[in-house]
Amino acid sequence: MNAHEYALQANGSFALPDACFKVKALMDDEDSAISDFADVIGVDPSMTSRLLQIANSAIYRFPGEISTISKAITIIGTQAIYNMMLVDVAASAFKHFENQAIDLKRFWRMSIYCGLVSKNLAIKAGIKDIERLFVAGLLQNFGELIVAKITPELAQQCEKYNDENLPWSLQESALGYTYTDISAELLKIWQIPEKIIIPIRHFNQAQSNQINNDVKVLNLASRLALLDSHEENFEYDEIIDESLCQSLKLTKEDIEQVIEISADDAIAILTVMNPKLFSK
């Protein structure tokens, strides 16, 4: 199968909820009001509860409690609300596709950590709309879950990476493309904003195809996530491209601060999104 065929199979068994499409339509409508967004989200008690959980989590670090959807929209804006809905969708999808073919705890940790690092690197680099980079980091490796569900033997083969065979190289060898290509195809089917899809589709070619700063940030974040989960197998200087750091005006001290902040926040978010795995 090619990347698009994997994405089609995944979409056939787990589609993006209608509420996401309705919120996106409201975002495109200049006449929409905050109450319109609240009405769409409020009809789903589960989504309302999860959305407020995420809004009050370490992702956004608001000083006061957010207790209503309307307040959340007023404070963080409709784009952030939409992005958080995608986070909630990701949490549900992760559970839907989970199986024993891969190390799920490692997968969750790397996905959340990559999202946090993307967000925090963006802050350091002065990039605006940091929520989209959190979502891009979170969803960039979603293709791994899809492959693990549909062709578990290939997922297990791709999981045997090391310092001589990086994850992306193994995926290319086994599939002819990477997990991120599948992720990008699925998000395109789901009509996710192109600003989120572009860095996912291109970040593994950041050195040769530097489209924008989002691509560079996600490249660095994915490598730092690999280091976080496998620090005994990989060396910072071997997988981090210093030229990307320089182009983003990020110092080694900036990177170290991002690593520390992201590690502290990761467990708090993981326990919200998947308490079964991370509350122990």
* Residue of 245, 183, 226, 178 whose CA lies nearest to 205: 178
Q: How confident is the model at residue 83 (pLDDT cuts 50, 70, 90)?
A: confident
Cβ(40)–Cβ(73) below 8 Å: no
Percent of the chain with pLDDT over 90: 40
- For 218, residues 6+ apart whose C-beta sits below 8 A from its C-beta are 114, 118, 133, 136, 137, 140, 199, 200, 203, 206
Q: Which has more pLDDT, 38 or 14?
A: 38
The pLDDT mean for the chain works out to: 85
* Residue of 242, 236, 230 whose CA lies nearest to 162: 230
Domain extent for 221: 3-278
In the chain, the number of structural domains is: 1
Write the pLDDT tens digit of every residue in 151-188.
999 999 999 998 888 899 999 999 999 999 999 999 99
Q: Which has more pLDDT, 56 or 139?
A: 139
pLDDT at position 207, please? 64
pLDDT at position 209, please? 52
- For 275, residues 6+ apart whose C-beta sits below 8 A from its C-beta are none
The three-state secondary structure class of 255 is helix
Count other Cβ atoms within 10 Å, centred on residue 98. 18
Torsion of CA 258, 261, 263, 264, to 10 degrees: 180
Helix, strand, coil percentages, rounded to 5, for the chain:
75, 0, 25
pLDDT at position 167, please? 92
CATH number of the domain that residue 112 is part of: 1.10.3210.10
Write the pLDDT tens digit of every residue in 16-53.
778 888 888 898 898 999 899 889 888 878 777 767 77
Range 76-80, long-range pairs (CB < 8 A, 24+ positions):
76/131, 78/23, 78/26, 78/27, 78/37, 79/27, 79/129, 79/131, 79/132, 80/131
Cβ(181)–Cβ(3) below 8 Å: yes
Q: How confident is the model at residue 280 (pLDDT cuts 50, 70, 90)?
A: low
Q: How confident is the model at residue 273 (pLDDT cuts 50, 70, 90)?
A: low
Write the pLDDT tens digit of every residue in 115-139.
999 999 999 999 987 878 988 998 9
Q: How confident is the model at residue 59 (pLDDT cuts 50, 70, 90)?
A: low
